[in-house]
Structure formats: structure tokens, C-alpha cells
Amino acid sequence: MNISEANRVRLLYFFTFFCQAACVPRYAEYLEGKGFSGFQLGFILSLTPILMFLIQPIVGYIADKFGHKKTLLFGALLAGVFFLGHLLQGGFYYIAFVTVMMSLFFNTTQPIIDSLALQ
């Protein structure tokens, strides 16, 4: 069964937003369940938007240099690996590190998918 290029991009969008919809709303509850204070909770939750602002221009340069599909696969793979890091037991600094690493690579997916859609 051949899937058209347009449908591939639609599937990428679907799975990207599906993952976000499944994880993001429950992330604060997960952190509260680990016993983090309000300050710690706010700090960890603020990491992803801050890194999104900082990393996307760099990702654009990397994607132009190495290719959109390679960058997307690399970012998605490493985001998944670091996302699984949340399953291990760790304190505030561990969770903050895992969140930073996951965000660095997960934030690469959306602009690259947008770029692929516009091509």
C-alpha cells in the first residue's frame, strides 16, 4: 500500500499532536505525585517552552545542513529515549535534566514537520 507524501505529513502531524495530548496534560500531576514543591514544579514545567524558544533557530540550521528527514528521525529517537528516562526514579535535578534533554530533541520535531509540509 503506497501512502502519498501529503498523507505521510498528515500522519506525522497526527502522531506528534497525539503524543503531546497524551503526555503534556498529565505531566504536572506526575510531578506533583513525586512530591515536588510548587517552585520546583513551575521550574520544570517552564523548561520546555524556554528551550523551544532557544532551540528552534538552531534546529533550522541543522535541518538545512543535514536534511529534514534525518534531523527529524534523530530528534524523535532521542526525545523518545529521554522521555523514557522519566520512568526511572530520580529527584528534582534528575527530572530537570531529563526534561531538558527530552525538550531539546522533542522541540525539534514540530518545526521540521512544518517545514516538510511546506515543501
pLDDT of residue 1: 66
User: Model's pTM, two decimal places?
Assistant: 0.80
Q: Which amino acid is at 64?
A: D
Three cell numbers, residue 15:
502522531
User: What number of residues does the chain have?
Assistant: 119
C-beta of residue 94 within 8 angstroms of C-beta of residue 113: no
Mean pLDDT score across all residues of the chain: 86
**H or E element, residue 14:** helix 5-33
Contacts of 83 (CB under 8 A, 6+ apart): 23, 102, 106
pLDDT band at 94 (very low <50, low <70, confident <90, very high): very high
pLDDT of res. 40: 94
Closest CA to 94 of 40, 50, 29: 40
Residue 115 or residue 46, greater confidence: 46
**Amino acid code (one letter) for 58:** I
For the residues 1-19, what does the mean pLDDT come to? Answer: 79
